[in-house]
Structure 1
Amino acid sequence: MLLFISLVLFFVKINSENVEYSKTSIQPIHVRIQHIDVDTHSDIVIDIQTPHFSWELADEYDDYGQRIRNIEQIGYHIAVSAVIDNEIIWDSGYVRSSISTHILYEGKQLKSDTRYKVNIKYETNKHESEWYSVDFRTGLFSLDDWSGEWIGSQSMNMNQLRTVINLKSNPIRSATAFISGIGYYQLYIEGELIDQSRRLDVGWTTYQQRTLYTSYDLTNVLNTSGLKGIGVMLGQGWYNKQQWAIGQGPHVELSLNYGPPRVILQINIIYTDGTNESIVTNTNWLGREGEHRFDSIYMGTTVDFRAVQLCWSCANFSDFRLWMNASILPSPVNFTAGGQFSLQIMDPIRIGPDALHIATSGQLGNIDGVEGASLTDGGILKPISQEYVNGQLFDLGQNFAGWCRIASLNAAKSTIIQLRYGELRYSRSVNEMNYHGLFYENLCSIAVMDTVILNGTENEIFEPPFTYHGFRYMLINGYDHINRSDVECYNAHSQTRLIGNFTSSNQVINQIQHNILWSQLSNSMSIPTDCAQRNERRGWMGDAGLSVDASLFNFDYINFYINFLTMIEDNQTPDGAISDTVPFTVGSRPADPNWGTAYITIAWYLYEHTGDINIIKNYYQGIQLWIDCLIQHYEQTGLARFYHTYGDWNPVNRTGNQSLISSYPFLRDVYRFVNMSELLNRTDNIEKYGQLYQRLADEFHRVFYNESIRSYVDGSQPMNILALDLPDVVPTPLRTTIVQSLADNLIKTGYFTGGIISVNALFPLLSNEGHHDLALQLAQKTSYPSYGYMFNNNVQNATTNWEGWDTLPQGGASSPNHHMFNSIGAWFYRYLAGIHLNALQTIIIHPKMSYDYQLLTEINAEVVTTKGSVKVHWKRISQNQIDLSVRIPNNINAIVSFDRLVEQGKCMKLICNNEIIWIREKLNLLKNTLGISHLTEHQSTGTMSIRIESGDYTFTAYWQ
């Protein structure tokens, strides 16, 4: 219960009627259309006829340059018009509302391939903003809007295709390309790659169920009349059967209809005189096998520079000896089975500075003492060392996913140069010689080798197309005259913004955070993959669900995960079953419950981080089908024999009842589904699944509780952790006993013994149950097994998180670049920084404090949300004093809570911005201070909580 310290709070809101502020010019900032940030996307394309709009409120300042607190929106006005004729197709008029996110368009139906402009303004309790304008355009809403054909060849590796168009002399009003090339494509016009940083496009999908297309605004490219050459280069990608045959699982039959690469392209041109034309792919296009003779995601690329034809996509190209007419190939999409051909809504995979935009304003780059590369290096890594070990061996200093570009290659024609990649090096005795070569054993039957055959011209440059590798080290054979300055390697991943910043006073925690960032990016390749180095790179659901919360704190991957949810839905069978991997390559269907839970987990955390209820609405039915599928299996077995496949994957000690481990996500999913039903006011499901959860909770305790040892199953750490993590499962009289049993086990053992499922729940559970000091001690361990051991051992200091607690170069297939252990990153933000976003309703700032204050003395964190930047900086000045600074975005309020600094202690005084606002000995009254109200004290925990409005605050709390 909460005890209200003050019976009456004389809080006075100072508004514009009694305080004069200087005139200011403001406008909406960081506008988003369908979650796309217009600041980092110059060309916004949507595939929906009812988009939603969001914006942040600009900061407002008083005459002294201080940020004004309690800025609230009181109204907005949105107008959408067609660019071509300025017709207003939706005018919301002035809407009196505080809502500034996810406002649905309600105008005339949007048309295919049409350009629009949205104008937004808002009014706050202080000022009215200026209008903000931004353009967006639509994709092709119907198959009838497509007139191009899929082209390629069944008889040759036709990976370069071209045509020539003759543009009219009339000026072009707009030129828009729609293209899909699978496996991958690159679009050229007059010899120039249209988007220099875009790679491995389009994104991997279950092609027969959904194939993606992309779009380009070519208005400025095709701005002169006359002849223009258009070319498309194709890669095999995931549409090649070989990708599925290497390390194949039981579901390789899904790719049986996959085959040679193919492309469909349509360029719609509108001239200023109102006429229009379309350039489309057909059998008039010519194709050949280009210089890249072989490309494979797993095996690498072979490029023969002797076969290069300069400017093959130019209009004046004339050497057609090796070219032949393209053939019509079937669409990859099975439309009769409900397949979809849809716009790629998530950002593409990119390299270079365009791949990662920095949204945070705090500490950037590496902290002193943290090993690895900085995320602010523009996405390009240079070798930190070079030596000769059976070739030229380069250390990039960071494990990552991508490839290398080698310049200044000067050797005779037909010289063969090979590039091999590895994550690890190892040392062993070979013929009594010390060998320090690359470790290849964890590549699992794939070559991971790029080969180039030189043409003999000077200063040749090689960059492999249509493949990527997971590596830290690169070995070059066949050419010894390589300078480090001629090597640069690209960190490739799905484009995003860095929206999270987290640093602490503890170097172990800082290194873990560094490793989380890099392992997440390395495995964000249009879908969340598992690892980048071996014959995997699959969309394992367990990995995706466990890391999504941490990922969304750090990166703007909203559409990335929405796309993945859509793919899960595409793969769902009529009985509700979903698969362990998406696309379904290996594993089972129905998925192991701890893998299938990613469906509801991803949807839930997307809602928590954005407040977008449409995400819950869009996937609600599919989630219900999955839960009903689990219920059908449960009704056959009960919880005692509930099905499972993987259990608590990669534990230190494999122990306990696997049915408890699989029952855990089943109960959690049902509980979250009830929460979703409450959000949507689905009273029928609230009652139905709420009653089910109570029955399951009772059964869970009855089946798995071991009275003889007063713990669950065998009393092992994972068994008690998972039981405690479920609401209303452990009876209240037993809870303290079970928690203490867990804590005693952890202290006695000295380390955590579980795997990826139980570690996800471990740290929040300890922090919530009064054992935050123990959680910090475990997080900061550097001996085996621990996160810290990954970068504190005698073999390899990791710069990404490992796949297992013991991943080392010792003959196994395990990867040192994996994200399924990244779940601890969410604990960093939620508990160490104390940031709980709560769907951007009322933000909770509640950093957990240790009684041993030297365990952690400082945290600096920031999360850039769709409403603005949330910042937390706290510092333990002493055992009894903490300074806490927070920034709360405009148009939202927060509750800031102060944990006890000493056991059984009491807060004695609160100071805000150097002014005492509360002191215990002065009748417990809260001083009237702008933006602050409602001070409460929790009776049992002693936690002090205070409500604040938007603004910047610096608090000091004293305890004794």
Structure 2
Amino acid sequence: MKLTSEMFQIIILLLLSIYNSNGDTVRNTDISKQFGSSIRPCHVRIQHVDVDTHSDVVIDTYKPHFSWQLTDEYDNEGHLIKGIQQIGYHILVHSITTGQLMWDSGYVQSSLSTHIHYAGSLFTSDTRYSLTMRYFTVGHESQWYTARFRTALFSFNDWKGQWIGNNDINMNQLRTVIKRQSSSMIRSATAYISGIGYYQLYIEGQLIDPSRRLDVGWTTYQQRTLYVSYDLTSVLNNLDMQLFGIGIMLGQGWYNRQQWAIGLGPRIELAKEYGPPRALLQLNILYEDNTNQSIVTDSSWLGREGEHRFDSVYMGTTMDLRAVRLCWSCANFTDPYPTWFNASVLTSPVNFTAGGQFSLQIMDPIRIGPNALHIATSGNRGLPAGVNGASLTDGGVLKPISQDAINGQVFDLGQNIAGWCKVSSLSAAKSTIIQLRYAELRYSRGENNIDFRGIYYENLQSIAVMDTVILNGTGNETFEPLFTYHGFRYVLVNGYDNVNKDDIECYLAHSETRLIGNFTSSNVVLNQIQHNILWSQLSNSMSLPTDCPQRNERRGWLGDAALSIDEVLYNFDYVNFYLNFLTMIADNQSPDGAVSDTVPFAVGTSPADPNWGTAYATITWYLYEHTGDVTILEKYYLGIQAWIDCLTNKYKQTGLAHMFYNYGDWAAFQQPQNASLVSSYAYLHDVYTFINISQILNHTDNVQKYTQFYQQLSEEFHRVFYNTTIDAYSDGSQTANTLALSLPNVVPVTLRDIVLKSLIDEILRTGYFTGGIVSVAAVYPLLSKEGHHDLALQLALSTSCPSYGYMFRNSIQNATTTWEQWNLLPDQAGSSLNHHMFNSIGAWFYRYLAGIHLNALKTIDIHPRMSYSIDLLDHIEAEVVTIKGIVRVEWKRLAVESLTLSVTIPNNLDAIISFDPLIKNGRCLELICNSEILSIRQQADEHFILLRTMKGIISLMENSVTGTVSLHVMSGTYTFQTYWQ
């Protein structure tokens, strides 16, 4: 009898069940105790991939790291046990392919449950492995947990195929027929494929992974082209045929010259680097009789121009259904027309001689439908009351909410999205041409500015967004565009009037992720802002963080990514997505350390504006803060230092006073008179961030060097930008004072209150914040930290222009995504209505309204800021699913002087929970925990003391200056009530 891979895996598990932490056999009673236990590792991660949502984990490293969460434990009465801490773990890694034990960690005494690095034998390419592990807490050991993963092709030398396509025609369908080399079952079948611009893979007429679209991810192809991998074992075994067909559909994507020519301006010469689509595939098959077979792309493949006659990321698609050939990727396919001929071998897109790389796509693919967004949060599905738009938790497929006829059939989705629409039930004569056009606004100017209520195209700038289909005339036809996407709320159907909203289905497209954050409040304005943040963020997560999805741009602007990164990581599990983006920044970095405004470097300048280039340090830092993975800091450390040194060389030529770059405080109502202050702000911010990274990595020389340099810069910043005439920075603009106050140790202590008063007075005088994308990210945290949380809330709750609320409470359109500008004027609607650069306020929601500070998942801080006015906000619910578990915070104001706060801290983690005074200069009179009085103050001048010990409570502290009361607690769920006087 031959062992299948499944049988081999069962044997491994049986052996593990009698294998204790020292490698000895254990008694039956121990086995019973072990497997009778209800605790087990959960949400195991290999690298940063959660195996619960990824059935096929592929890695491209010899030394992956593993993480897991600890299951809750309960006492004999069914109560949740607080303070669950890991005391040890045991990890085994086997090769499923060979049966070899690769690593046995043995029992390791450690509380670490995240980023445990593999330390076994060297992995090999295209090999399948199993991870089996358990952990230990005081008095308990978990069940064994097993997950599978496999390796990519570690070297380009492992590839045997050739890039194929055609330079003369649009050869976008490729096919071949394969004969199996063995009659036995297939043990493993692994495909590695790259198709650029985009591809789809078919086996015997079956589209592999139908929800996967716009693959592979966009990169600077000369420097790095990505490939992906599929486990096709079950697909091929289920075919049960000796001959099978393979097909590849290709799209132009970002490898097409037109995408680079549109809107590039002085960088239009880059278009010559790109050309027709091409594909590279290698399918490795291992049979149960140990026969090996490898199928690769070469000139024996046949190709043609399929029914997909034209596709452009910007300009849409044209599909001729008359040219459809059913099952064209099937082995028994024959075409009555001589349209197929041999593919040509094309050059690799990668410039290997210049250090280019061909590497595994580590981030999740762009998807549509329910597989695109996994819901990890436990709370609030659907829309909060009063919020307009569509729910993210409803599966990513939208139906129109209304239809009317104006210059065609116009459909309103009620939600701005990035994606496309599918139209069904098309029954018209052969060669009928139908067009779909997309727009964000239901607005059009006619003569004398008469509002025709058509759809508005002017903010699309130089592109014509249109999907076209030519019908075959068979009746009941369906059209869904491929290899393009649009940013829109409205879709117009021309050329066919017999269509209704039941025939329209629209798909939200974005890089696959998990929704890990949940934030709702008692105020509908905040809830709508949060809704708009989530939708605009996903709309601009298209293998890299783009700026907008609708017009002739969609570029990887670093400034936008830096401003929204903290918010993103509270809401979505996008760690690998941003690690890929950091790698692209590193790929594009010049020898002098310069990074560019965009990656791939399509528009903008290099060196980047400092508030754009800051993405390198800022994204790296926040990825560390949200994951605790120190290897992220290590990987990009030298690159960040080189970028800072590049700016330093520029600074030496100009000084801070003349360090203006390109953009200033973009989209501001009022720029500082000296915009060099804005560029200098980012420069100092990066130097300070680099000092913190150096401290964590124990690079003491750099800590000392850059600390001294930062002190020099901070003194110069104050000297050149402080205006003694008005006791404020620059011209006293809100931007200038906000940025100066936000930099550590820049404003002298003796002047801080004066500058802060200048900022507050100016905000109160105007009634709104006048800054742009840079300063608005800083102003909310600044006000909350400096004792002006009420004012921060008032700004956030405003619905007059300029404000976040105005975006969805105005006379033009109630936004369901975040705008590019603060305002949208009827005669100047040329800007994007779906941007994420203003989404920075979302981080303030979690960090200050809910009070969740993750701190690299060490001892986290829970410190919600409270307004003195209960009318501003009286209820918050928030949840963040971290790699250690769920952090939950809910607070309610019972009265002006009282608060209820419920908190959940994950196992193997503790927290500092802080309570701010609810009234000015107040003192806490009583602190109750889980219905028991924990602390009390009899007289106003008495110390606030801990009355009793309580499970999970480690210590109590009170700040005599601010009145803030803090508790150090272990993991668990707590409900507190506080009363203030």
Q: Given the two structures, how large is their TM-score scaled by the length of structure 1?
A: 0.97
Q: CA deviation at 1:255?
A: 3.5
SS, match of residue 829 in structure 1? helix
The answer to whether structure 1 residue 188 and structure 2 residue 205 are counterparts is: no
Q: Counterparts of 1:24-103 in structure 2 under 5 Å?
A: 24-103=37-116
Q: What letter corresponds to residue 965 of structure 2 in structure 1?
A: M
Distance 1:36 1:126 in 2: 30
Distance 1:79 1:22 in 2: 18
Q: CA deviation at 1:653?
A: 2.1
From 144, 163, 166, the equivalent of 1:153 is: 166
Q: CA deviation at 1:247?
A: 1.1
Q: Counterparts of 1:461-480 in structure 2 under 5 Å?
A: 461-480=478-497
The answer to whether structure 1 residue 837 and structure 2 residue 832 are counterparts is: no
From 898, 923, 927, the equivalent of 2:948 is: 927
Distance 1:316 1:481 in 2: 38
Conserved? CA contact 2:912–2:969, under 8 Å: yes
User: In structure 2, what is the equivalent of residue 5 of structure 1?
Assistant: none
From 202, 206, 218, the equivalent of 2:232 is: 218
From 298, 308, 325, the equivalent of 1:309 is: 325
User: In structure 2, what is the equivalent of residue 254 of structure 1?
Assistant: 270
Q: Counterparts of 1:237-636 in structure 2 under 5 Å?
A: 237-319=253-335, 321-426=338-443, 428-430=445-447, 434-636=451-653
Conserved? CA contact 2:34–2:142, under 8 Å: no
User: In structure 2, what is the equivalent of residue 106 of structure 1?
Assistant: 119
Would the alpha carbon gap of residues 853 and 406 (structure 1) be closer, same or farther in structure 2, given more than 3 Å must change? same
Distance 2:672 2:753 in 1: 23
Q: What letter corresponds to residue 58 of structure 1 in structure 2?
A: T
User: In structure 2, what is the equivalent of residue 683 of structure 1?
Assistant: 700
Q: What letter corresponds to residue 933 of structure 1 in structure 2?
A: I
User: In structure 2, what is the equivalent of residue 4 of structure 1?
Assistant: none
Distance 2:393 2:675 in 1: 43
SS, match of residue 156 in structure 1? coil
Distance 2:736 2:648 in 1: 22
Structure 1 unaligned residues grouped into runs of 5+:
1-19
The answer to whether structure 1 residue 756 and structure 2 residue 777 are counterparts is: no
Deviation digits for residues 299-341 of structure 1 (CA, Å, limit 9, x no counterpart): 0000000111111111110116100100000000000000000
Q: What letter corresponds to residue 352 of structure 2 in structure 1?
A: F
Conserved? CA contact 1:424–1:809, under 8 Å: no
User: In structure 2, what is the equivalent of residue 119 of structure 1?
Assistant: 132
Distance 2:853 2:428 in 1: 59
Conserved? CA contact 2:216–2:227, under 8 Å: yes
User: In structure 2, what is the equivalent of residue 663 of structure 1?
Assistant: 680
Deviation digits for residues 451-489 of structure 1 (CA, Å, limit 9, x no counterpart): 000000011000000000000000000001112111100
Q: What letter corresponds to residue 796 of structure 2 in structure 1?
A: A
Distance 2:198 2:470 in 1: 23
Q: CA deviation at 1:246?
A: 1.1
Q: CA deviation at 1:434?
A: 4.7
Q: What letter corresponds to residue 559 of structure 1 in structure 2?
A: N
Distance 2:589 2:450 in 1: 55
Conserved? CA contact 1:184–1:202, under 8 Å: yes
SS, match of residue 686 in structure 1? helix
The answer to whether structure 1 residue 901 and structure 2 residue 918 are counterparts is: yes
Q: What letter corresponds to residue 637 of structure 1 in structure 2?
A: T
Q: CA deviation at 1:426?
A: 1.4
SS, match of residue 393 in structure 2? coil
Deviation digits for residues 860-894 of structure 1 (CA, Å, limit 9, x no counterpart): 00000000000000000000100000000000000
Distance 1:81 1:365 in 2: 43
User: In structure 1, what is the equivalent of residue 962 of structure 2?
Assistant: 941
Distance 1:472 1:925 in 2: 56
Q: CA deviation at 1:933?
A: 2.2
User: In structure 2, what is the equivalent of residue 16 of structure 1?
Assistant: none
Conserved? CA contact 1:22–1:63, under 8 Å: no
Q: CA deviation at 1:23?
A: 7.2
Q: What letter corresponds to residue 646 of structure 1 in structure 2?
A: Y
Distance 1:958 1:281 in 2: 72
Q: CA deviation at 1:427?
A: 5.3
The answer to whether structure 1 residue 950 and structure 2 residue 971 are counterparts is: yes
Q: What letter corresponds to residue 104 of structure 1 in structure 2?
A: H
Q: What letter corresponds to residue 565 of structure 2 in structure 1?
A: V
Structure 2 unaligned residues grouped into runs of 5+:
1-32
Distance 2:621 2:279 in 1: 36
Conserved? CA contact 1:285–1:326, under 8 Å: yes
Would the alpha carbon gap of residues 714 and 21 (structure 1) be closer, same or farther in structure 2, given more than 3 Å must change? farther
Conserved? CA contact 1:71–1:126, under 8 Å: no
Q: CA deviation at 1:806?
A: 1.0
The answer to whether structure 1 residue 198 and structure 2 residue 219 are counterparts is: no
Distance 2:925 2:375 in 1: 40
Would the alpha carbon gap of residues 21 and 111 (structure 1) be closer, same or farther in structure 2, given more than 3 Å must change? closer
Conserved? CA contact 2:96–2:129, under 8 Å: yes
Conserved? CA contact 2:718–2:747, under 8 Å: yes
From 186, 196, 199, the equivalent of 1:172 is: 186
User: In structure 1, what is the equivalent of residue 730 of structure 2?
Assistant: 713
Distance 1:735 1:433 in 2: 53
User: In structure 1, what is the equivalent of residue 898 of structure 2?
Assistant: 881
Distance 2:645 2:80 in 1: 51
The answer to whether structure 1 residue 724 and structure 2 residue 745 are counterparts is: no
Distance 2:451 2:914 in 1: 58
Distance 2:229 2:292 in 1: 18
Would the alpha carbon gap of residues 333 and 870 (structure 1) be closer, same or farther in structure 2, given more than 3 Å must change? same
Deviation digits for residues 894-944 of structure 1 (CA, Å, limit 9, x no counterpart): 000000000011000000110001111297234100000211111211100
Would the alpha carbon gap of residues 612 and 188 (structure 1) be closer, same or farther in structure 2, given more than 3 Å must change? same
From 750, 764, 776, the equivalent of 2:793 is: 776
Distance 1:514 1:576 in 2: 38
Q: What letter corresponds to residue 196 of structure 1 in structure 2?
A: P
Conserved? CA contact 1:926–1:933, under 8 Å: no
Q: What letter corresponds to residue 835 of structure 2 in structure 1?
A: H
Q: CA deviation at 1:150?
A: 0.1
Conserved? CA contact 2:820–2:833, under 8 Å: yes
Conserved? CA contact 2:261–2:271, under 8 Å: no
Distance 1:428 1:698 in 2: 53
Sequence identity (%): 68
User: In structure 1, what is the equivalent of residue 22 of structure 2?
Assistant: none
Distance 1:254 1:685 in 2: 38
Deviation digits for residues 716-773 of structure 1 (CA, Å, limit 9, x no counterpart): 1000000000000000010011111111110111000010000000000000001000
Q: What letter corresponds to residue 151 of structure 1 in structure 2?
A: I
SS, match of residue 137 in structure 1? strand
Conserved? CA contact 2:671–2:733, under 8 Å: no
Q: CA deviation at 1:853?
A: 1.4
SS, match of residue 221 in structure 1? helix
Q: Given the two structures, how large is their TM-score scaled by the length of structure 2?
A: 0.95
User: In structure 1, what is the equivalent of residue 666 of structure 2?
Assistant: 649
Distance 1:865 1:808 in 2: 41
Would the alpha carbon gap of residues 22 and 885 (structure 1) be closer, same or farther in structure 2, given more than 3 Å must change? farther
Distance 1:271 1:796 in 2: 60
Q: What letter corresponds to residue 126 of structure 2 in structure 1?
A: D
Q: CA deviation at 1:807?
A: 2.8
Q: What letter corresponds to residue 214 of structure 1 in structure 2?
A: V
Conserved? CA contact 1:170–1:225, under 8 Å: no
Conserved? CA contact 1:796–1:808, under 8 Å: no
